[in-house]
Amino acid sequence: MRGLHLVQGVVERRNTLPILSNVLVEPAEGGIALTATDMEVGLRGLVPAQMKKKGSVTLNARKLYEIAREVTAEEVTLKSAQVGWVDLLAGRSKFRIVSLDPKDFPQLPLGTATVDGTSVRLAAGTLREMVDKTLFAVSSDETRFNLSGVFLSTPEAGTLRMVATDGHRLALVDRRVPEVKLPRGVIMPRKGLLEARKLLDETGDEDVTVVVSSKDVRLATPAVSFFMRLVEGEFPDYQQVIPAAPRAQVRVNRDDLFAALRRISLLASERSRGVKFQLERGRLELSASNPDQGEASEDVEITYAGDSLTLGFNARYVIDVLAVHGEGEVIELGFTDEVGPALLRASGDPDYTYVVMPMRL
């Protein structure tokens, strides 16, 4: 049931190829393997089962899932009756379902055996966190395909890095993963990551094996293996937008800033979502105004000893990143000037860098 639920998510919905609405059921070590794909991502789950006679079938994933959900029997029996049909027996219920030829099912890069890939093991939680801290910053502009995913690389051996940007903001997270070294960085598409993220949710605290090759990224646990195709293209040189030494340093409580910003942004203009940040000694005034609806302002207590400075930011961009930071964190903000990029880090997580461009208000 769980296996079916997992593969359900990745079957083709658009129905371009009938075989892709099906799940491939085939013999595997200790049971059967259920495989589904939409050619962009694919997933294989192992389910304990007894094989009386070896054979593969493909069955409509949705129907199989619906049946599995409704039948009360603990066990179901699948029997390939005649070519093109499969009998499913569960307690007193009998189903006869159409089966398509398993030979038409695409060959997928699943499992950890690989010719040209780099394999690394890490905790599912680490991977989950890295994805959460970057995926939201991925560009939604479809024409800039090299920004339409998260860039995975190893700036030095032992450091795994994910970077995402949409040209207005950038999220970069580094994590120590012993001995990891990729020959070159790869771009993982948003859709593939969303599916991977769902899988990681189910994985709990297990370790996952990640295999990175030039064409795909695979994830594998003992029970499940997953792949996503990669985006073609060069990720832009992102290093240059990260300010090395910001002039104005501000420390602020994450919860205070998060809550205040959410309140004030209610009256920011719908289109630009612009909120004014006015820095004074020990005090940050957030304000927003919208000619149609009114205005709002709020003071937030900060640690700051520099000159006063006024900048505008898209509230959404700042809220997004504060949302993934833990409650009670101390946030360090670094500003260069009114037009230069601003830096945002949590003091508890120096390896997570966020850069956001100010806007004119």
Which H, E and C letters describe 137-150, residue by residue? HCCCCCCCHHHCEE
Interface map 24-63 toward another protein (x if CB under 8 A): ---------------xx-----------------------
Q: Does 95 bind another protein (CB under 8 A)?
A: no
Q: Which is nearer to another protein, 59 or 356 (CB)?
A: 59
Query: Is 229 one of the binding residues for another protein (CB under 8 A)?
Result: yes
Nearest residue (CB) to another protein, 182 versus 300:
182
Contact call for residue 145 and another protein (CB under 8 A) = yes
Is residue 334 within 8 Å of 252, Cβ to Cβ? no
DSSP states of 280-322: ETTEEEEEEEETTTEEEEEEEE-B--S--EEEEEEHHHHHHHH
User: Is residue 216 involved in binding another protein (CB under 8 A)?
Assistant: yes
Residues that contact another protein, how many (by CB under 8 A) = 26
Q: Please tell me the distance from the alpha carbon of residue 31 to that of residue 53, in angstroms, as a whole number.
A: 12
First and final CA of the chain: distance in angstroms?
53
Residue 233 binds another protein, judged by CB under 8 A: yes
Supply the DSSP string of 71-110, one letter for each residue: ---S--EEE--STTEEEEEETTEEEEEEEE-GGGSPP---
Nearer to another protein, 39 or 51 (CB): 39
Give whichever of 26 and 332 is closer to another protein, judged by the CB atom: 26
Q: Please select the residue that binds another protein; options are 70, 116, 142, 270, rule is CB under 8 A.
A: 142
CA 269, CA 274: separation in Å to the nearest integer?
7
Residue 12 binds to another protein (criterion: CB under 8 A): no
Hey, what are 291's tokens? Answer: 């000619």
Q: Which of 107, 184, 222, 271 binds another protein (CB under 8 A)?
A: 107
Which range touches another protein (CB under 8 A), out of 120-128, 199-207, 230-238, 345-353? 230-238
Q: Which residues lie below 8 Å from residue 288, measured CB to CB, with a gap of 6+?
A: 264, 265, 266, 267, 268, 269, 274, 275, 276, 295, 296, 297, 315
* Contact pattern for another protein over residues 155 through 194, marking x by CB under 8 A: ----------------------------------x-----
> Percent helix, strand and coil across the chain, each rounded to 5?
25, 40, 35
Closest CB 202 distance from another protein, rounded Å: 24
Options 50, 82, 143, 240; binder of another protein; rule CB under 8 A = 143
Out of 214, 239, 303, 308, point to the residue binding another protein (CB under 8 A): 214
Give the range of 172-180, 223-231, 237-245, 304-312 binding another protein by CB under 8 A: 223-231
The letter for the amino acid at 301 is E
Q: The tokens of 168 are what?
A: 């207005």
> C-alpha distances in angstroms, 101 versus 41, 50, 56, 85, 107?
21, 22, 9, 10, 13
CB atoms within 10 A of CB 180: 21
In the complex, the smallest distance separating the C-beta of residue 104 from another protein, rounded to whole angstroms, is: 5
Single-letter amino acid code for the residue at 1: M
Contact between 240 and another protein per CB under 8 A: no
Kindly state whether residue 195 participates in binding another protein, applying the rule CB under 8 A: no
Residues in touch with another protein (CB under 8 A): 14, 16-17, 19, 39-40, 103-109, 142-143, 145, 148, 189, 214-216, 229-233
